[in-house]
Structure 1
Amino acid sequence: MQSIYAMHQNGSDNMEKEEKFLFYSIDAIQDLYLIMLSSLIEICKKETVFLHLSSQKHLATPEERNPNEKFIKNSIFQILAENNSLSIALENRKINNWTLNDDYIILLLNAVKESKLYAKYMSNSVNTFEEDRDFIVALFTEVIVPNEKLYEYLEDDKLTWVDDIPLVNTHIIKQLKAIKSANDESFRVPKLYKDNEDKDFVRDLFRKTILNERELSKEYDDKTPNWDSERIAEIDTIILKMAICEFLKFPSIPVKVTLNEYLEVAKEYSTPKSSIFINGILDNLVKELQASKKMVKVGRGLM
């Protein structure tokens, strides 16, 4: 949707160029995932170095000589640091953001140590794996994710990440919660695409919508008698075209799936009343397409 919108705004007809950027922006989601997840590892490393240097000071206090290492020995930190899937992905994708910008790690570490979560966690000398895991989940959710400086850094790095940040963070939290024990080796860096068919769908939906925009717009033109085409938000017209494209040119996608997906997109990206407007048009259009047998869906339960 955003790629099609960008083409409209730029007055571009270079579909190949926009398609390359589309896949580039999707590919970059994995970098964002790795950057966010590796921030936990780097925070632990930074605190480990700090504790060591403090213990070596000439006038070190008793607390500095024998620091409380509960934080740096948290089980989740150890699992992430030793995870092959994560290490390989970081190496292959050449993720070195925190090496180049370790001031953000210091900033995050300070925010962690100033938090009530940290104080409560460190006050208890007896800990369990469940406590370690719940602490890291809460820390990531309540301290790291909402950090404005971190958000600004990510936004400046890649503007396309603005919409991807909630998706990535939600997935990381889900993965952290799913770790069952200190010996759990099931953690894996997720694939961007489920399979080749998944990736093909991205390209096909983009191309078929772009190449058939005029034809697709005709399907809803007479369904908006009280609206001049100029008054309909451009995002709404793109959402309508993409939904209709799925109705007509993707026989394996259930109608209800298309309807639900695009109504959610409208709620997130368009005007407050857009989802109601789009729902009304698509609902009427579906009945018309089914009656005329213009829309053919294959498979059980697809209507």
Structure 2
Amino acid sequence: MQSIYAMHQNDSDNLEKEEKFLFQSIENIRDLYLILLSALVELRNSEEDYIEKSSKKHLATPQERNPNRKFINNKVLLLLDENNSLSIALADRKINNWKLNDDYILILLDAIKNSEVYNKYMHNRENDFEEDRDFIAELYTEVIAPDEKLYEYLEDYKLTWVDDIPLVNTLIAKQLKMIKPDGNFFVPRLYKDEDDKDFVKALFRKTVLNEVELAKEFIDKTPNWDTERIAEVDAIILKMAICEFLKFPSIPVKVTINEYLEIAKEYSTPKSSIFINGILDNLVKDYQNNNKLVKTGRGLM
């Protein structure tokens, strides 16, 4: 939807170029995931470096000589630091943001140390996997993900990430809560399979190449609305939904409607989801009456 909207705004008809941008934007989501996940590792390493240097000072305090190492010994942080899947992905994508911008790690580390979550966790010096896991999950959700400085850095680094940050944060938080002591942690694939990737390309191309015909499907269903009065995002959402109705027989009607209503709630006007839902409901009834809606498989209507 965003890529099609960008094409309209740029008045572009270069399908190959815009499709390349679409797939690059999706690749960038994985980079965002890796950057945020690697921040946890860098936070641990930065704190370990600080503790080691403090303990070797000529006039080190008793606390500096015998520090509480619970945070740097956190079993989940150590697991991530030693994880092959994460290390390979970071090397493959050449992710080294925190090496180049360690000041953000120090700012984030300071925010962590001032948090109630951290101080409660550091109350003792014992490391237990379940406690370590619960702490990291809570720390990420309550302190790291909402951090304004981190958000500003990510926004400045790549503006298109603004919409992706909540999605990636949700995924990471979910993974952290489910991580196991056996270290069976894997960086998720960007696409479920090749069919998944092919669907992205097909939906983009079939919507763009058939925009005029797809628009005709709903114009007659909005007699009280001039074409110019329909918000551009709403028009794109309707075209994509109708494209799925008519050109993707394996996608259930209810799934299509639900997905695009959620997109409308997120990106369009407050009343758009009601407007779009009404049009799509009427279209589905018409398609069914005219045997125009062909869906294969069980439960697809």
TM over 0.5: yes
Which amino acid in structure 2 is aligned with residue 197 of structure 1? D
Deviation of residue 243 (structure 1)? 0.1
State the alpha-carbon separation in 2 of the partners of residues 257 and 298 from structure 1.
14
State the alpha-carbon separation in 1 of the partners of residues 51 and 126 from structure 2.
20
State the alpha-carbon separation in 1 of the partners of residues 237 and 44 from structure 2.
44
Identical pairs, percent? 74
Deviation of residue 290 (structure 1)? 1.0
1:279-294 equivalences under 5 Å are: 279-294=277-292
Which amino acid in structure 1 is aligned with residue 138 of structure 2? A
Show the counterpart of 1:204. Answer: 202
Show the counterpart of 2:268. Answer: 270
Listed as ranges, the gaps of 5+ residues in structure 2 are: none
Deviation of residue 283 (structure 1)? 0.1
Which amino acid in structure 1 is aligned with residue 69 of structure 2? E
Show the counterpart of 1:191. Answer: 189
> Do the aligned residues in 1 keep the contact of 2:75 with 2:127 (CA within 8 Å)?
no
> Do the aligned residues in 1 keep the contact of 2:55 with 2:66 (CA within 8 Å)?
yes
State the alpha-carbon separation in 2 of the partners of residues 301 and 124 from structure 1.
54
Question: Are positions 1:102 and 2:117 aligned together?
Answer: no
Deviation of residue 186 (structure 1)? 1.6
State the alpha-carbon separation in 2 of the partners of residues 126 and 63 from structure 1.
17
Show the counterpart of 2:33. Answer: 33
How many residues are treated as equivalent by the alignment? 301
Instruction: Supply the RMSD in Å over aligned alpha carbons.
Output: 0.8
Question: Are positions 1:228 and 2:222 aligned together?
Answer: no
How far does the alpha carbon of each residue in 1:197-232 deviate from its partner, in whole angstroms, 9 at most, with x for none? 000000000000000000000000011111111111
Show the counterpart of 1:58. Answer: 58
> Do the aligned residues in 1 keep the contact of 2:179 with 2:185 (CA within 8 Å)?
yes
Listed as ranges, the gaps of 5+ residues in structure 1 are: none
Deviation of residue 23 (structure 1)? 0.2
Which amino acid in structure 2 is aligned with residue 114 of structure 1? N
Deviation of residue 145 (structure 1)? 0.6
State the alpha-carbon separation in 2 of the partners of residues 34 and 5 from structure 1.
27
Show the counterpart of 1:257. Answer: 255
State the alpha-carbon separation in 2 of the partners of residues 124 and 301 from structure 1.
54
Which amino acid in structure 1 is aligned with residue 285 of structure 2? K
How far does the alpha carbon of each residue in 1:75-104 deviate from its partner, in whole angstroms, 9 at most, with x for none? 111110111100110111110000000000
State the alpha-carbon separation in 2 of the partners of residues 218 and 191 from structure 1.
38
State the alpha-carbon separation in 2 of the partners of residues 39 and 18 from structure 1.
31
Show the counterpart of 1:6. Answer: 6
Deviation of residue 277 (structure 1)? 0.2
1:76-155 equivalences under 5 Å are: 76-155=76-155
State the alpha-carbon separation in 1 of the partners of residues 56 and 124 from structure 2.
26
Which amino acid in structure 2 is aligned with residue 143 of structure 1? V
How far does the alpha carbon of each residue in 1:225-260 deviate from its partner, in whole angstroms, 9 at most, with x for none? 111111111000000000000000001101011011
State the alpha-carbon separation in 1 of the partners of residues 6 and 118 from structure 2.
44
Show the counterpart of 1:49. Answer: 49
Show the counterpart of 1:177. Answer: 177
Question: Are positions 1:160 and 2:149 aligned together?
Answer: no
Deviation of residue 118 (structure 1)? 1.0
Deviation of residue 156 (structure 1)? 1.1
Which amino acid in structure 2 is aligned with residue 214 of structure 1? V
Deviation of residue 125 (structure 1)? 3.0
SS in 2 for 1:151: helix
Which amino acid in structure 1 is aligned with residue 258 of structure 2? N
Comparing 157-166 with 257-266, greater Cα deviation is found at 157-166
Task: Give 4+ residue runs of structure 1 displaced > 4 Å after superposition.
Answer: none
How far does the alpha carbon of each residue in 1:122-173 deviate from its partner, in whole angstroms, 9 at most, with x for none? 1123342111111111111111111111111111111111111111111111
State the alpha-carbon separation in 2 of the partners of residues 282 and 123 from structure 1.
56
> Do the aligned residues in 1 keep the contact of 2:70 with 2:126 (CA within 8 Å)?
no
Which amino acid in structure 1 is aligned with residue 94 of structure 2? K
How far does the alpha carbon of each residue in 1:11-37 deviate from its partner, in whole angstroms, 9 at most, with x for none? 111111110000000011111000000
Comparing 38-47 with 121-130, greater Cα deviation is found at 121-130
Which amino acid in structure 2 is aligned with residue 151 of structure 1? Y
State the alpha-carbon separation in 1 of the partners of residues 127 and 194 from structure 2.
44
State the alpha-carbon separation in 2 of the partners of residues 7 and 224 from structure 1.
25
How far does the alpha carbon of each residue in 1:256-293 deviate from its partner, in whole angstroms, 9 at most, with x for none? 11011000000010000000000000000000011111
